[in-house]
A and B are shown apart, each in its own frame.
Chain A
Amino acid sequence: MRMGIFRKTAVVVVSLSLLIGVWELVVLTGRFAPSLLPSPAKVAAGIGDLISDGSLISHLGVSLARFATGYFSASVIGMLLGLLFGCYKRIWAFIDPIVQVLRPVSPIAWFPFIVLWFGIGDVPAIVIIFIAAFYPVLLSTVSGVRKVDAIYLKVADNFDVRQPKRLFKIILPAAFPFIANGLHMALGSAWVFLVAGEMVGAQSGLGYLIIDARNSLRSDLVLAGIILIGVSGLLLDRLIRLLENGIEKQWGVSLGGGT
Protein backbone atom coordinates (compact mmCIF):
# COMPACT_ATOMS: atom_id res chain seq x y z
CA MET A 1 0.00 0.00 0.00
CA ARG A 2 2.64 2.47 1.08
CA MET A 3 4.83 1.30 -1.77
CA GLY A 4 1.93 2.03 -4.13
CA ILE A 5 1.62 5.61 -2.90
CA PHE A 6 5.38 6.10 -3.13
CA ARG A 7 5.47 4.82 -6.67
CA LYS A 8 2.50 6.95 -7.68
CA THR A 9 4.15 10.07 -6.29
CA ALA A 10 7.34 9.22 -8.16
CA VAL A 11 5.43 8.89 -11.43
CA VAL A 12 3.73 12.25 -10.87
CA VAL A 13 7.03 13.96 -10.07
CA VAL A 14 8.76 12.48 -13.13
CA SER A 15 5.85 13.38 -15.39
CA LEU A 16 5.72 17.00 -14.22
CA SER A 17 9.50 17.41 -14.35
CA LEU A 18 9.42 16.13 -17.89
CA LEU A 19 6.82 18.72 -18.84
CA ILE A 20 8.80 21.53 -17.24
CA GLY A 21 12.02 20.23 -18.85
CA VAL A 22 10.53 20.25 -22.34
CA TRP A 23 9.07 23.70 -21.68
CA GLU A 24 12.49 24.99 -20.55
CA LEU A 25 14.16 23.46 -23.62
CA VAL A 26 11.68 25.13 -25.96
CA VAL A 27 12.34 28.45 -24.22
CA LEU A 28 16.11 27.89 -24.49
CA THR A 29 15.90 27.49 -28.29
CA GLY A 30 15.15 31.22 -28.27
CA ARG A 31 12.62 30.91 -31.04
CA PHE A 32 9.84 32.47 -28.94
CA ALA A 33 9.95 35.91 -27.45
CA PRO A 34 9.65 35.88 -23.62
CA SER A 35 6.31 37.67 -23.92
CA LEU A 36 4.95 34.80 -26.03
CA LEU A 37 6.35 31.99 -23.92
CA PRO A 38 7.72 32.92 -20.49
CA SER A 39 10.26 30.57 -18.94
CA PRO A 40 9.37 28.24 -16.05
CA ALA A 41 11.57 30.30 -13.74
CA LYS A 42 9.72 33.49 -14.62
CA VAL A 43 6.36 31.86 -14.12
CA ALA A 44 7.53 30.44 -10.79
CA ALA A 45 8.60 33.93 -9.79
CA GLY A 46 5.19 35.20 -10.93
CA ILE A 47 3.47 32.64 -8.69
CA GLY A 48 5.76 33.74 -5.88
CA ASP A 49 4.75 37.37 -6.43
CA LEU A 50 1.05 36.50 -6.46
CA ILE A 51 1.45 34.65 -3.20
CA SER A 52 3.59 37.21 -1.43
CA ASP A 53 1.51 40.26 -2.32
CA GLY A 54 -1.61 38.43 -1.11
CA SER A 55 -3.49 38.77 -4.38
CA LEU A 56 -3.57 35.02 -4.91
CA ILE A 57 -5.30 34.38 -1.62
CA SER A 58 -7.87 37.11 -2.18
CA HIS A 59 -8.66 36.05 -5.76
CA LEU A 60 -8.76 32.39 -4.85
CA GLY A 61 -11.00 33.16 -1.89
CA VAL A 62 -13.44 35.10 -4.06
CA SER A 63 -13.48 32.34 -6.67
CA LEU A 64 -14.03 29.61 -4.10
CA ALA A 65 -16.88 31.51 -2.48
CA ARG A 66 -18.61 31.95 -5.85
CA PHE A 67 -17.90 28.36 -6.70
CA ALA A 68 -19.32 27.06 -3.44
CA THR A 69 -22.47 29.19 -3.76
CA GLY A 70 -23.14 28.14 -7.35
CA TYR A 71 -22.19 24.52 -6.92
CA PHE A 72 -24.10 23.87 -3.72
CA SER A 73 -27.25 25.63 -4.82
CA ALA A 74 -27.15 23.72 -8.12
CA SER A 75 -26.62 20.46 -6.22
CA VAL A 76 -29.48 21.02 -3.81
CA ILE A 77 -31.94 22.24 -6.43
CA GLY A 78 -30.77 19.60 -8.93
CA MET A 79 -31.29 16.83 -6.40
CA LEU A 80 -34.69 18.11 -5.24
CA LEU A 81 -36.00 18.45 -8.78
CA GLY A 82 -34.35 15.15 -9.72
CA LEU A 83 -36.14 13.38 -6.86
CA LEU A 84 -39.44 14.88 -7.94
CA PHE A 85 -39.01 14.07 -11.63
CA GLY A 86 -37.56 10.64 -10.86
CA CYS A 87 -40.63 9.73 -8.82
CA TYR A 88 -43.19 11.19 -11.20
CA LYS A 89 -42.36 9.81 -14.60
CA ARG A 90 -45.28 11.55 -16.25
CA ILE A 91 -43.95 14.99 -15.33
CA TRP A 92 -40.46 14.02 -16.43
CA ALA A 93 -41.79 13.03 -19.85
CA PHE A 94 -42.63 16.70 -20.38
CA ILE A 95 -39.48 18.11 -18.80
CA ASP A 96 -37.01 15.74 -20.44
CA PRO A 97 -37.22 17.22 -23.99
CA ILE A 98 -36.67 20.73 -22.62
CA VAL A 99 -33.62 19.60 -20.68
CA GLN A 100 -32.27 17.78 -23.72
CA VAL A 101 -32.45 21.03 -25.72
CA LEU A 102 -31.01 23.30 -23.03
CA ARG A 103 -28.27 21.04 -21.74
CA PRO A 104 -25.90 21.25 -24.74
CA VAL A 105 -25.95 25.06 -24.57
CA SER A 106 -22.76 26.39 -23.03
CA PRO A 107 -23.49 28.39 -19.89
CA ILE A 108 -21.44 31.21 -21.44
CA ALA A 109 -24.03 31.56 -24.20
CA TRP A 110 -26.47 32.75 -21.56
CA PHE A 111 -24.13 35.53 -20.57
CA PRO A 112 -25.88 38.42 -22.34
CA PHE A 113 -29.13 37.55 -20.59
CA ILE A 114 -27.44 36.88 -17.30
CA VAL A 115 -25.99 40.38 -17.31
CA LEU A 116 -29.36 41.86 -18.24
CA TRP A 117 -31.17 39.94 -15.53
CA PHE A 118 -28.64 39.88 -12.74
CA GLY A 119 -26.40 42.87 -13.44
CA ILE A 120 -22.71 42.62 -12.72
CA GLY A 121 -20.67 41.57 -9.72
CA ASP A 122 -20.65 38.13 -8.13
CA VAL A 123 -24.00 36.98 -9.40
CA PRO A 124 -23.24 36.37 -13.10
CA ALA A 125 -20.32 34.06 -12.30
CA ILE A 126 -22.44 32.20 -9.73
CA VAL A 127 -25.26 31.78 -12.22
CA ILE A 128 -22.86 30.40 -14.81
CA ILE A 129 -21.49 27.90 -12.30
CA PHE A 130 -25.03 27.02 -11.35
CA ILE A 131 -25.96 26.25 -14.95
CA ALA A 132 -22.81 24.21 -15.49
CA ALA A 133 -23.39 22.10 -12.38
CA PHE A 134 -27.15 21.81 -12.54
CA TYR A 135 -27.69 19.42 -15.46
CA PRO A 136 -25.33 16.63 -14.42
CA VAL A 137 -26.85 16.63 -10.91
CA LEU A 138 -30.42 16.72 -12.20
CA LEU A 139 -29.93 13.94 -14.75
CA SER A 140 -27.99 11.64 -12.45
CA THR A 141 -30.62 12.08 -9.75
CA VAL A 142 -33.50 11.29 -12.09
CA SER A 143 -31.80 8.15 -13.34
CA GLY A 144 -30.55 7.26 -9.83
CA VAL A 145 -34.06 7.34 -8.41
CA ARG A 146 -35.15 4.87 -11.08
CA LYS A 147 -32.34 2.50 -10.24
CA VAL A 148 -33.15 2.30 -6.53
CA ASP A 149 -33.26 -1.35 -5.53
CA ALA A 150 -36.87 -2.50 -5.11
CA ILE A 151 -36.01 -4.08 -1.77
CA TYR A 152 -35.59 -0.64 -0.16
CA LEU A 153 -39.05 0.34 -1.34
CA LYS A 154 -40.46 -2.90 0.06
CA VAL A 155 -38.78 -2.19 3.39
CA ALA A 156 -40.22 1.33 3.34
CA ASP A 157 -43.71 -0.04 2.64
CA ASN A 158 -43.36 -2.67 5.31
CA PHE A 159 -42.23 -0.26 8.02
CA ASP A 160 -44.80 2.31 6.96
CA VAL A 161 -42.36 5.01 5.89
CA ARG A 162 -44.60 7.40 3.98
CA GLN A 163 -44.02 10.41 1.75
CA PRO A 164 -42.36 12.83 2.13
CA LYS A 165 -40.17 10.97 4.65
CA ARG A 166 -39.82 8.13 2.22
CA LEU A 167 -38.21 10.49 -0.28
CA PHE A 168 -35.51 11.73 2.09
CA LYS A 169 -35.04 8.70 4.31
CA ILE A 170 -35.09 5.98 1.68
CA ILE A 171 -35.05 7.11 -1.94
CA LEU A 172 -32.44 9.88 -1.76
CA PRO A 173 -29.82 7.87 0.14
CA ALA A 174 -30.54 4.74 -1.90
CA ALA A 175 -30.02 6.72 -5.10
CA PHE A 176 -26.99 8.52 -3.72
CA PRO A 177 -24.35 6.17 -5.16
CA PHE A 178 -25.68 7.10 -8.60
CA ILE A 179 -26.11 10.78 -7.76
CA ALA A 180 -22.49 10.95 -6.55
CA ASN A 181 -21.39 10.36 -10.12
CA GLY A 182 -23.31 13.45 -11.25
CA LEU A 183 -22.04 15.52 -8.33
CA HIS A 184 -18.49 14.66 -9.28
CA MET A 185 -18.99 15.49 -12.94
CA ALA A 186 -20.73 18.72 -11.98
CA LEU A 187 -17.78 19.72 -9.84
CA GLY A 188 -15.41 19.47 -12.81
CA SER A 189 -17.62 21.30 -15.24
CA ALA A 190 -18.50 24.00 -12.69
CA TRP A 191 -14.81 24.69 -12.08
CA VAL A 192 -14.19 25.03 -15.82
CA PHE A 193 -17.00 27.52 -16.15
CA LEU A 194 -16.12 29.43 -13.03
CA VAL A 195 -13.03 30.73 -14.77
CA ALA A 196 -14.91 31.41 -17.98
CA GLY A 197 -17.57 33.29 -16.05
CA GLU A 198 -15.03 35.41 -14.23
CA MET A 199 -13.31 36.25 -17.49
CA VAL A 200 -16.36 37.88 -18.99
CA GLY A 201 -18.01 39.59 -16.11
CA ALA A 202 -16.04 39.92 -12.94
CA GLN A 203 -13.59 42.33 -11.33
CA SER A 204 -12.01 39.69 -9.10
CA GLY A 205 -11.29 35.97 -8.95
CA LEU A 206 -8.91 33.62 -10.73
CA GLY A 207 -10.49 34.22 -14.15
CA TYR A 208 -10.20 37.97 -13.67
CA LEU A 209 -6.60 37.50 -12.55
CA ILE A 210 -5.78 36.09 -15.98
CA ILE A 211 -7.63 38.83 -17.89
CA ASP A 212 -5.94 41.47 -15.73
CA ALA A 213 -2.50 39.97 -16.36
CA ARG A 214 -3.15 39.89 -20.08
CA ASN A 215 -4.24 43.53 -20.07
CA SER A 216 -0.99 44.49 -18.40
CA LEU A 217 0.93 42.28 -20.87
CA ARG A 218 2.27 39.95 -18.17
CA SER A 219 2.26 36.59 -19.92
CA ASP A 220 4.17 35.08 -16.99
CA LEU A 221 1.26 35.93 -14.70
CA VAL A 222 -1.23 34.57 -17.23
CA LEU A 223 0.54 31.23 -17.15
CA ALA A 224 0.88 31.43 -13.38
CA GLY A 225 -2.90 31.92 -13.19
CA ILE A 226 -3.53 28.97 -15.47
CA ILE A 227 -1.34 26.73 -13.34
CA LEU A 228 -3.03 27.85 -10.15
CA ILE A 229 -6.48 27.21 -11.61
CA GLY A 230 -5.41 23.74 -12.66
CA VAL A 231 -3.93 22.92 -9.28
CA SER A 232 -6.95 24.21 -7.34
CA GLY A 233 -9.30 22.25 -9.60
CA LEU A 234 -7.24 19.14 -9.03
CA LEU A 235 -7.31 19.64 -5.28
CA LEU A 236 -11.09 20.08 -5.32
CA ASP A 237 -11.43 16.89 -7.31
CA ARG A 238 -9.23 15.03 -4.82
CA LEU A 239 -11.29 16.41 -1.97
CA ILE A 240 -14.55 15.07 -3.35
CA ARG A 241 -12.83 11.78 -4.17
CA LEU A 242 -11.81 11.55 -0.52
CA LEU A 243 -15.39 12.13 0.59
CA GLU A 244 -16.58 9.49 -1.85
CA ASN A 245 -14.05 6.98 -0.56
CA GLY A 246 -15.24 7.56 2.99
CA ILE A 247 -18.85 6.89 2.00
CA GLU A 248 -17.93 3.89 -0.12
CA LYS A 249 -16.07 2.34 2.76
CA GLN A 250 -18.84 2.95 5.26
CA TRP A 251 -21.74 1.89 3.08
CA GLY A 252 -19.91 -0.94 1.35
CA VAL A 253 -21.00 0.36 -2.04
CA SER A 254 -19.10 1.65 -5.04
CA LEU A 255 -20.05 5.15 -6.02
CA GLY A 256 -20.18 6.30 -9.59
CA GLY A 257 -23.37 4.63 -10.70
CA GLY A 258 -22.01 1.11 -10.40
CA THR A 259 -20.40 1.41 -13.82
Chain B
Amino acid sequence: MYIKIEGLSRTYVLNNGHKSVALEKVDLEIQQGEFICLLGPSGCGKSTLLNMIAGFEKPSTGSVNIKGELVDKPSVDRITIFQNYGLLPWRTVVKNVELGLEAKIPDKRKRREIAEEYIRLVGLSDYKKHHPAQLSGGMQQRVALARALAVDPEILLMDEPLGALDAMTRMNMQEEIERLWLEKQKTIIFVTHDIEEAVFLADRIVMMTPGPGRIKSIIDVPLARKRDRTSPDFLKIRDQVFAGFELKGVDHTEYYL
Protein backbone atom coordinates (compact mmCIF):
# COMPACT_ATOMS: atom_id res chain seq x y z
CA MET B 1 0.00 0.00 0.00
CA TYR B 2 1.20 3.51 -0.84
CA ILE B 3 0.12 5.25 2.34
CA LYS B 4 -0.65 3.06 5.32
CA ILE B 5 -2.05 4.57 8.51
CA GLU B 6 -2.36 2.15 11.39
CA GLY B 7 -3.88 2.60 14.83
CA LEU B 8 -3.13 6.30 14.71
CA SER B 9 -4.06 8.24 17.85
CA ARG B 10 -3.18 11.70 19.08
CA THR B 11 -3.82 12.92 22.60
CA TYR B 12 -3.22 16.48 23.70
CA VAL B 13 -2.54 17.31 27.33
CA LEU B 14 -4.31 20.55 28.09
CA ASN B 15 -3.06 23.27 30.41
CA ASN B 16 -5.40 22.15 33.20
CA GLY B 17 -3.88 18.66 33.11
CA HIS B 18 -6.85 17.07 31.34
CA LYS B 19 -6.33 15.05 28.22
CA SER B 20 -8.12 15.65 24.99
CA VAL B 21 -8.24 12.88 22.40
CA ALA B 22 -8.01 14.61 19.03
CA LEU B 23 -7.78 11.40 17.06
CA GLU B 24 -8.44 7.81 18.12
CA LYS B 25 -7.28 4.60 16.45
CA VAL B 26 -7.50 5.67 12.85
CA ASP B 27 -6.74 3.08 10.17
CA LEU B 28 -6.61 4.19 6.56
CA GLU B 29 -4.97 3.03 3.38
CA ILE B 30 -4.47 5.26 0.37
CA GLN B 31 -3.32 4.33 -3.12
CA GLN B 32 -0.90 6.29 -5.22
CA GLY B 33 -2.69 8.90 -7.32
CA GLU B 34 -5.88 8.84 -5.27
CA PHE B 35 -7.83 11.97 -4.44
CA ILE B 36 -8.96 11.59 -0.83
CA CYS B 37 -11.22 14.04 0.97
CA LEU B 38 -11.30 14.14 4.76
CA LEU B 39 -14.76 15.40 5.61
CA GLY B 40 -16.27 16.15 8.96
CA PRO B 41 -17.40 18.81 11.41
CA SER B 42 -15.05 21.11 13.29
CA GLY B 43 -12.93 19.38 15.89
CA CYS B 44 -13.09 15.86 14.42
CA GLY B 45 -9.32 15.73 13.99
CA LYS B 46 -8.96 16.40 10.25
CA SER B 47 -6.06 18.81 10.70
CA THR B 48 -4.50 16.58 13.33
CA LEU B 49 -4.56 13.62 10.94
CA LEU B 50 -3.19 15.70 8.08
CA ASN B 51 -0.40 17.15 10.25
CA MET B 52 0.72 13.67 11.20
CA ILE B 53 0.76 12.52 7.59
CA ALA B 54 2.80 15.65 6.81
CA GLY B 55 5.19 14.86 9.65
CA PHE B 56 4.58 18.16 11.47
CA GLU B 57 3.27 16.28 14.50
CA LYS B 58 4.10 12.98 16.12
CA PRO B 59 1.43 10.38 16.83
CA SER B 60 0.74 9.36 20.43
CA THR B 61 0.30 5.78 19.23
CA GLY B 62 0.21 4.13 15.84
CA SER B 63 2.08 5.09 12.72
CA VAL B 64 1.98 6.56 9.23
CA ASN B 65 3.99 4.74 6.60
CA ILE B 66 4.53 5.96 3.08
CA LYS B 67 5.99 3.48 0.61
CA GLY B 68 6.99 1.39 3.59
CA GLU B 69 8.85 4.22 5.29
CA LEU B 70 7.84 5.61 8.64
CA VAL B 71 6.88 9.29 8.57
CA ASP B 72 8.63 11.11 11.40
CA LYS B 73 9.42 14.52 9.93
CA PRO B 74 8.27 16.82 7.14
CA SER B 75 9.59 16.24 3.64
CA VAL B 76 9.52 18.00 0.27
CA ASP B 77 7.86 14.83 -1.05
CA ARG B 78 4.71 15.86 0.83
CA ILE B 79 3.80 19.51 0.61
CA THR B 80 1.06 21.00 2.77
CA ILE B 81 -1.13 23.82 1.53
CA PHE B 82 -2.82 25.80 4.26
CA GLN B 83 -6.10 27.64 4.43
CA ASN B 84 -4.27 30.95 4.78
CA TYR B 85 -1.84 29.90 2.04
CA GLY B 86 1.38 30.28 4.03
CA LEU B 87 2.91 32.52 1.41
CA LEU B 88 5.85 34.70 2.43
CA PRO B 89 4.55 38.28 2.23
CA TRP B 90 8.05 39.72 1.76
CA ARG B 91 8.63 37.75 -1.41
CA THR B 92 7.15 38.30 -4.84
CA VAL B 93 5.07 35.58 -6.46
CA VAL B 94 8.00 34.21 -8.41
CA LYS B 95 10.31 34.31 -5.37
CA ASN B 96 7.67 32.49 -3.36
CA VAL B 97 7.49 29.76 -5.95
CA GLU B 98 11.28 29.54 -5.98
CA LEU B 99 11.43 28.94 -2.21
CA GLY B 100 11.38 25.16 -2.36
CA LEU B 101 13.74 25.10 -5.32
CA GLU B 102 16.50 27.04 -3.60
CA ALA B 103 17.84 24.02 -1.77
CA LYS B 104 17.41 21.69 -4.75
CA ILE B 105 18.63 23.73 -7.69
CA PRO B 106 21.71 25.91 -7.25
CA ASP B 107 21.50 27.46 -10.71
CA LYS B 108 19.53 30.70 -10.46
CA ARG B 109 18.42 30.82 -14.09
CA LYS B 110 17.19 27.26 -14.05
CA ARG B 111 15.28 27.97 -10.86
CA ARG B 112 13.61 31.01 -12.35
CA GLU B 113 12.69 28.98 -15.43
CA ILE B 114 10.98 26.25 -13.39
CA ALA B 115 9.19 28.79 -11.19
CA GLU B 116 7.86 30.63 -14.23
CA GLU B 117 6.69 27.40 -15.79
CA TYR B 118 4.55 26.61 -12.74
CA ILE B 119 3.28 30.16 -12.48
CA ARG B 120 2.14 29.80 -16.07
CA LEU B 121 0.50 26.50 -15.15
CA VAL B 122 -1.73 28.24 -12.61
CA GLY B 123 -2.33 31.18 -14.97
CA LEU B 124 -0.54 33.92 -13.05
CA SER B 125 2.24 34.91 -15.44
CA ASP B 126 1.06 38.51 -15.44
CA TYR B 127 1.43 38.69 -11.66
CA LYS B 128 4.82 37.10 -11.07
CA LYS B 129 6.38 40.34 -9.84
CA HIS B 130 3.49 41.10 -7.45
CA HIS B 131 3.60 40.55 -3.73
CA PRO B 132 0.99 38.21 -2.19
CA ALA B 133 -0.83 41.07 -0.48
CA GLN B 134 -1.54 42.57 -3.90
CA LEU B 135 -3.43 39.44 -5.02
CA SER B 136 -6.94 38.15 -4.32
CA GLY B 137 -7.43 35.11 -2.10
CA GLY B 138 -7.98 32.81 -5.07
CA MET B 139 -4.82 34.05 -6.75
CA GLN B 140 -2.85 33.58 -3.54
CA GLN B 141 -4.05 30.00 -3.36
CA ARG B 142 -2.88 29.49 -6.95
CA VAL B 143 0.54 30.77 -5.96
CA ALA B 144 0.59 28.31 -3.08
CA LEU B 145 -0.32 25.55 -5.55
CA ALA B 146 2.41 26.59 -7.96
CA ARG B 147 4.94 26.70 -5.12
CA ALA B 148 3.92 23.23 -3.97
CA LEU B 149 3.93 21.69 -7.45
CA ALA B 150 7.26 23.29 -8.38
CA VAL B 151 9.17 20.96 -6.06
CA ASP B 152 7.42 18.03 -7.73
CA PRO B 153 6.17 16.32 -4.56
CA GLU B 154 4.41 12.95 -4.69
CA ILE B 155 1.73 13.97 -2.25
CA LEU B 156 -0.21 17.19 -1.72
CA LEU B 157 -1.84 17.72 1.65
CA MET B 158 -4.43 20.46 1.67
CA ASP B 159 -6.04 21.75 4.85
CA GLU B 160 -9.25 23.54 3.89
CA PRO B 161 -7.38 25.30 1.11
CA LEU B 162 -10.52 26.95 -0.23
CA GLY B 163 -12.13 27.73 3.10
CA ALA B 164 -11.47 31.45 2.89
CA LEU B 165 -12.82 31.94 -0.63
CA ASP B 166 -16.23 33.05 -1.85
CA ALA B 167 -18.52 30.49 -3.48
CA MET B 168 -17.76 31.37 -7.11
CA THR B 169 -13.98 31.53 -6.68
CA ARG B 170 -14.20 28.35 -4.69
CA MET B 171 -15.86 26.43 -7.52
CA ASN B 172 -13.29 27.75 -9.99
CA MET B 173 -10.49 26.64 -7.72
CA GLN B 174 -12.04 23.19 -7.29
CA GLU B 175 -11.92 22.77 -11.05
CA GLU B 176 -8.39 24.12 -11.15
CA ILE B 177 -7.24 21.66 -8.50
CA GLU B 178 -8.92 18.79 -10.33
CA ARG B 179 -7.21 19.82 -13.57
CA LEU B 180 -3.79 19.98 -11.91
CA TRP B 181 -4.37 16.64 -10.22
CA LEU B 182 -5.31 14.99 -13.53
CA GLU B 183 -2.34 16.58 -15.29
CA LYS B 184 0.34 15.99 -12.64
CA GLN B 185 -0.94 12.68 -11.21
CA LYS B 186 -0.29 13.54 -7.59
CA THR B 187 -1.82 11.86 -4.58
CA ILE B 188 -3.99 14.44 -2.84
CA ILE B 189 -5.40 14.42 0.67
CA PHE B 190 -7.82 17.27 0.95
CA VAL B 191 -9.52 18.46 4.13
CA THR B 192 -12.90 20.13 3.85
CA HIS B 193 -16.18 20.50 5.63
CA ASP B 194 -18.09 21.24 2.48
CA ILE B 195 -19.99 18.12 1.35
CA GLU B 196 -20.44 19.23 -2.24
CA GLU B 197 -16.74 20.05 -2.54
CA ALA B 198 -15.87 16.56 -1.32
CA VAL B 199 -18.26 14.88 -3.76
CA PHE B 200 -16.94 17.00 -6.62
CA LEU B 201 -13.27 16.25 -5.94
CA ALA B 202 -12.82 12.95 -4.17
CA ASP B 203 -12.24 9.40 -5.36
CA ARG B 204 -13.08 8.44 -1.80
CA ILE B 205 -14.58 10.51 0.97
CA VAL B 206 -13.35 9.73 4.48
CA MET B 207 -16.13 10.79 6.82
CA MET B 208 -14.98 11.69 10.31
CA THR B 209 -16.81 12.41 13.56
CA PRO B 210 -15.61 14.25 16.65
CA GLY B 211 -15.35 13.43 20.34
CA PRO B 212 -12.93 11.65 19.96
CA GLY B 213 -11.94 12.07 16.31
CA ARG B 214 -12.65 8.89 14.38
CA ILE B 215 -13.33 7.65 10.89
CA LYS B 216 -17.03 6.99 10.67
CA SER B 217 -17.13 5.55 7.20
CA ILE B 218 -15.56 5.78 3.79
CA ILE B 219 -17.64 6.48 0.70
CA ASP B 220 -16.54 5.71 -2.85
CA VAL B 221 -17.35 8.30 -5.47
CA PRO B 222 -17.36 6.35 -8.73
CA LEU B 223 -18.38 9.32 -10.90
CA ALA B 224 -16.58 10.14 -14.13
CA ARG B 225 -14.70 13.42 -14.36
CA LYS B 226 -15.32 16.21 -14.90
CA ARG B 227 -18.31 15.93 -12.63
CA ASP B 228 -21.60 17.68 -13.12
CA ARG B 229 -22.78 19.15 -9.83
CA THR B 230 -26.42 18.92 -10.90
CA SER B 231 -26.51 15.37 -12.28
CA PRO B 232 -28.72 12.85 -10.47
CA ASP B 233 -25.74 10.61 -9.66
CA PHE B 234 -23.90 13.53 -8.08
CA LEU B 235 -26.91 14.42 -5.98
CA LYS B 236 -27.39 10.80 -4.96
CA ILE B 237 -23.90 10.56 -3.55
CA ARG B 238 -24.25 13.92 -1.89
CA ASP B 239 -27.42 12.67 -0.19
CA GLN B 240 -25.61 9.52 0.84
CA VAL B 241 -22.93 11.59 2.58
CA PHE B 242 -25.58 13.75 4.05
CA ALA B 243 -27.37 10.74 5.47
CA GLY B 244 -24.07 9.38 6.76
CA PHE B 245 -23.77 12.40 9.01
CA GLU B 246 -27.42 11.96 10.05
CA LEU B 247 -28.20 15.39 8.76
CA LYS B 248 -30.95 14.26 6.42
CA GLY B 249 -34.37 15.79 6.55
CA VAL B 250 -33.65 19.41 5.82
CA ASP B 251 -33.70 20.42 2.19
CA HIS B 252 -31.01 22.96 1.44
CA THR B 253 -29.23 23.48 -1.81
CA GLU B 254 -25.96 23.98 -0.02
CA TYR B 255 -24.87 21.51 2.58
CA TYR B 256 -22.41 22.80 5.05
CA LEU B 257 -21.23 21.16 8.22
Q: Which residues of A contact B133 (CB under 8 A)?
A: 250-253
Chain B count of residues within 8 A CB distance of the other chain: 24
Binary CB contact string for chain A from 151 to 170 against chain B (1 if under 8 A, 0 otherwise): 11011011111100100011
Is there contact, CB below 8 Å, between A250 and B103? no
Q: Among A157, A159, A160, A173, which residue has its beta carbon within 8 angstroms of that of B90?
A: A173
CB distance from A159 to the nearest CB of B (A): 4
Contacts of B74 on A, CB cut-off 8 Å?
A: 154, 157-158, 160
A154 touches B80 (CB 8 A): yes
Q: Type the 1/0 row for B116-142, where 1 means its CB is closer than 8 Å to any CB of A.
A: 000000000000000111100000000
Contact residues in B for A151 (Cβ distance below 8 Å)? 82, 84, 86
Closest to B151 in A: A159
Instruction: Count chain B CB atoms within 10 A of each CB in A161, A170, A250 and give the residue with the most.
Output: A250
Q: How far is the CB of B129 from chain A (nearest CB, A)?
A: 11
* A158-B79 Cα distance, complex, nearest whole Å: 6
Interface of chain B residues 96 through 116 with chain A (CB within 8 A): 99-100, 102-103
Report the Cα distance A158→B75, complex, angstroms: 6
Contact string against A for B residues 27-56, beta-carbon threshold 8 Å, 1 for contact and 0 otherwise: 000000000000000000000000000101
Q: Which residue of A lies closest to B51 (CB)?
A: A154
A residues 138-157 touching B (CB-CB < 8 Å): 151-152, 154-155, 157
Complex-state Cα separation, A169 to B78, whole angstroms: 21
A13 CB to nearest chain B CB (Å): 36
Whether B79 and A170, one on each chain, are in contact in the complex, defined by CB atoms closer than 8 angstroms, is: no
Instruction: Judge whether B177 is part of the interface by a CB distance below 8 angstroms.
Output: no
Mark B59-100 against chain A: 1 for CB-CB distance below 8 A, else 0.
Answer: 000000000000001111011101010101110000000011
Inter-chain CB contacts under 8 Å: number: 64
Taking the closest CB of chain A, its distance from the CB of B157, in whole angstroms, is 9
Task: Mark each residue of chain A from 219 to 259: 1 if its CB lies under 8 Å from any CB of chain B, else 0.
Answer: 00000000000000000000000000000001111000000
Q: Are A159 and B80 in contact (CB under 8 A)?
A: no
Q: How far, in Å, is A79 (CB) from chain B's closest CB?
A: 15
Give A247's nearest chain B residue, CB to CB: B90
Of A155, A165, A176, A250, the residue contacting B86 (CB under 8 A) is: A155
Q: Which residues of B have CB within 8 Å of A174?
A: 88, 90
* Chain A residues within an 8 Å CB radius of B102: 161, 165, 169
Looking at the assembled complex, report how far the CB atom of B64 sits from the nearest CB atom of chain A, in whole angstroms: 16
A210–B86 Cα distance when bound, in Å, is 53
Q: How far is the CA of A93 from the CA of B75 in the complex (A)?
A: 33
C-alpha spacing A161/B86, complex, angstroms: 14
**A162 contacts which chain B residues (CB < 8 A)?**
103
Contact between chains at A152 and B103 (CB < 8 Å): no
- Do A159 and B76 have beta carbons less than 8 Å apart? yes
A170 to B54, CA, bound (A): 20
Given the known interface contacts A250-B133, A252-B134, the answer about A161 and B99 at a Cβ–Cβ threshold of 8 Å is yes
Distance A152 CA – B54 CA, assembled complex (angstroms):
15
CA–CA, A46 and B63, complex, Å = 81
Residue of B nearest to A170 (CB): B88
- B contact residues around A158 at 8 Å (CB): 54, 56, 74-76, 78-80, 100
Residues of A within 8 A of B54 (CB): 158
B132 surroundings in chain A (CB, below 8 A): 252
In the complex, which of the residues A155, A159, A251, A253 contacts B103, with contact meaning CB atoms closer than 8 Å? A159
A250 near B131: Cβ-Cβ < 8 Å: yes
How distant is the Cα of A154 from the Cα of B47 in the complex, in angstroms?
14
Task: Tell which of A159, A162, A173 has the most Cβ of chain B within 10 Å.
Answer: A159
Q: Cβ of A252 and Cβ of B89 under 8 Å apart?
A: yes
A259 CB, min distance to chain B CBs, angstroms: 18
Closest Cβ of chain A to B164, distance in Å, is 14
A252–B89 CA distance with the chains assembled, in angstroms: 7
- Identify 27 residue pairs between A and B in the complex whose beta-carbon atoms are under 8 Å apart, listed by A's number: A151-B82, A151-B84, A151-B86, A152-B88, A154-B56, A154-B74, A154-B80, A154-B82, A157-B56, A157-B74, A158-B74, A158-B78, A159-B76, A159-B100, A160-B103, A161-B103, A165-B103, A170-B88, A173-B88, A173-B90, A174-B88, A174-B90, A250-B134, A251-B89, A251-B131, A253-B89, A253-B133
Q: A151-B84, A151-B86, A159-B99 are in contact. List 11 more A-B contacts (CB 8 A).
A: A154-B86, A155-B86, A157-B56, A160-B75, A161-B102, A170-B88, A250-B131, A251-B89, A251-B90, A252-B134, A253-B89
Give the interface of B toward A (CB within 8 A): 54, 56, 73-76, 78-80, 82, 84, 86, 88-90, 99-100, 102-103, 131-134, 151
